[in-house]
Amino acid sequence: MRTHHDPRGLPITGLNPAQIERYERLLHELYAYRSGVQARLDDLLREAPGFVLGHVLRGYAVMTDGLRSGLPEAQRFLDLSQRLAATANERERLHIYALKMWIEGRGAARLQALEDILARWPLDVLAYRQLTAMLFWHGDKRRQLAVAMQAIPHWQPSTAGYALTLAPLAFALEEDGRYALAEDYAQLALSFNPTDLWALHALVHVHEMQGRASEGEAAINAVAGKLKEFNLFRGHLWWHLSLFLLSQNKIDAVLDVFDREVFPTPSSFYLDLQNAASLLARLEIQGVDVGDRWDTVAHACEQTLGQHLVVFTGPHQVMALARTGRKQALAQALQGFNDDGQAGMEQAQTGSAVAAAVALYYQRAYRPFLNLMRVMRFEAASLGASYAQQDIYFQLMVDAALQVDDLPLARSLLKERLAKHFTDATEWLRYIDMTHRIEQAHDPKVLRGFLRAGLLQQPPAC
Ligand SMILES: [Fe+2]
């Protein structure tokens, strides 16, 4: 069969030009988080079973679900792609290898394989999007930005798929604290596609970090009516909306969004569990009665104990299990994380230690929790996720310090929490002003208000 090329000139094994056009549309839908992409990819694979990268991409998709129970299915797609390896080109064989490394839990080798692809074929948008997404959960923000920065000069606005490169760059810049540039790239991506959810996500992270809650709320509300057309990532945008509402003290609205969109039905999807547990924890720290919502989340956690491969999920499962007094499930979860660490699973030792600390918080052992968590508070970032998500560690630490009446420690942690989020002279002045306000606060309720407020934002009245 004659080999045809994608719109960027890269050879694609197993597809004719019309099918390559469909694949190109699928990539745009996939990385905008549209629903139904995998079914359409399956249709394409039925028509073109020799489409090597299609089998690899299905394997990537199964692994993205982050469940051990998905490993046999991912292996099936790996086997299908390996059977075609003799017909594949060198770039496609590196993708097969990257999938193999992912299934075997060898994250460092997986990342390096994708970097090798980009070093030689910088217009491989599949490698670029996979790599930048994977680095998110590896907690390596510098490398995430480095990958985006080394790839981006190879792309021109006239290059097919140019818009697909912008959102990862915007997000990497945001996590690096370069908020103005991040916002520019996010807006540029949204000018190509107003429902590019990863670009919108980068934009609302800028809003979150800069305390622009009403702007973030408006940005998400602008697409809210369309979010049902997107995959489960949409729940994370609802989570962001909840944070904006919480920082404006709109508690009823937060609970409503939780019930309708963040955790409307029991879900074992790792991001849903993270969003739900993290939001309930934040609400309770603000003294909000969340009713029996923890039970729903804890029950969902029990259904997939020992299944989650995204290590950042573990501490969130523990939050729900410990908070609801599920002692047996909690012990089982902690033992499982410990076993993963002993077995040498990447990130698992740190994940296990953080999970054990979080359990102490919910067992009201606040001082032991602080003793453990304070030592690990920077190392915990290696479990991945964004600064906004990792803030849960600070939320719990500040609350624990207040629970044991250690106001100096609470103030210190609050200042530290803000310290990395200024980038220019104006923000520096706001940072100094905020630290003075924190120093002058003596009421625990006021100090908790700083947790509720967006970073570098004056907390609203309680
Ligand atoms: Fe986020």
Calculate how far, in angstroms, residue 213's C-alpha sits from the geometric centre of ligand 1: 14
The proportion of the chain whose per-residue pLDDT surpasses 70, expressed as a percent, equals 97
Q: What is the rounded CA–CA span in Å between residue 252 and residue 207?
A: 22
> What tens digit of pLDDT does each residue of 69-98 get?
999 999 999 999 999 999 999 999 999 999
Place of tokens 């970032």: 381
- pTM of the entire predicted model: 0.95
Nearest-angstrom CA–CA distance, 409 and 227: 41
**C-alpha 319 to ligand 1 mean position (Å):** 19
Q: What is the pLDDT of residue 455?
A: 60
Q: 236 CA distance to ligand 1 centroid (A)?
A: 6
> How many angstroms is it from 382 CA to the middle of ligand 1?
16
- Pick from 92, 88, 61, 91: nearest CA to 74: 61
pLDDT-based confidence at residue 394 (cuts at 50, 70, 90): very high
CA of 343 to the centre of ligand 1 (A): 30
Distance 201 CA to ligand 1 centre (A): 6
Question: What residues does 34 pair with on adjacent strands?
Answer: 230
Please report, for the chain, the start and end positions of each structural domain, with discontinuous segments joined by +. Answer: 408-452
Q: Compute the distance from residue 268 Cα to the ligand 1 centre, in Å.
A: 18
Average pLDDT, the chain: 94
Q: Provide mean pLDDT across the span 86-111.
A: 97
Residues at Cβ < 5 Å from ligand 1 ion: 386
Question: How many angstroms is it from 171 CA to the middle of ligand 1?
Answer: 9
| Stretch 162-185: mean pLDDT | 95
Cα of 364 vs centre of ligand 1, distance in Å, is 28
240 CA to middle of ligand 1, Å? 7
pLDDT at 436: 92
Q: How far is the CA of 361 from the centre of ligand 1 (A)?
A: 24
Q: How far is the CA of 387 from the centre of ligand 1 (A)?
A: 8
List for the chain the helix, strand, coil content (%; round to 5): 70, 0, 25
Per-residue pLDDT of 44-63, as tens digits, reads 999 999 999 999 999 999 99
- Reported as a single tens digit per residue, the pLDDT across 113-162 is 999 999 999 999 999 999 999 999 998 999 999 999 999 999 999 999 99
- pLDDT of 231 > 70? The answer is yes
- Helix, coil or strand: residue 308: strand
Question: What per-residue confidence (pLDDT) applies to 419?
Answer: 79
Q: What percent of the chain has pLDDT over 90?
A: 90
Ligand 1 centroid to residue 44 C-alpha, Å? 32
Residue 460 CA, ligand 1 centroid: distance in Å: 23
Longest dimension (CA), the chain: 75
Residue 460 has pLDDT above 60, yes or no: no
Expressed in angstroms and rounded, the spacing between residue 80 Cα and the centre of ligand 1 is 34
Q: Distances in Å between the alpha carbon of 360 and those of 117, 162, 370, 397, 443?
A: 44, 47, 9, 11, 25
Tens digits of per-residue pLDDT, 180-214? 999 999 999 999 999 999 999 999 999 998 889 99
**pLDDT interval class at 462 (50, 70, 90):** very low
Residue 223 CA to ligand 1 center (angstroms) comes to: 16
pLDDT tier at 452, thresholds 50, 70, 90? confident
pLDDT in tens, 253-286: 999 999 999 999 999 999 999 999 999 999 999 9
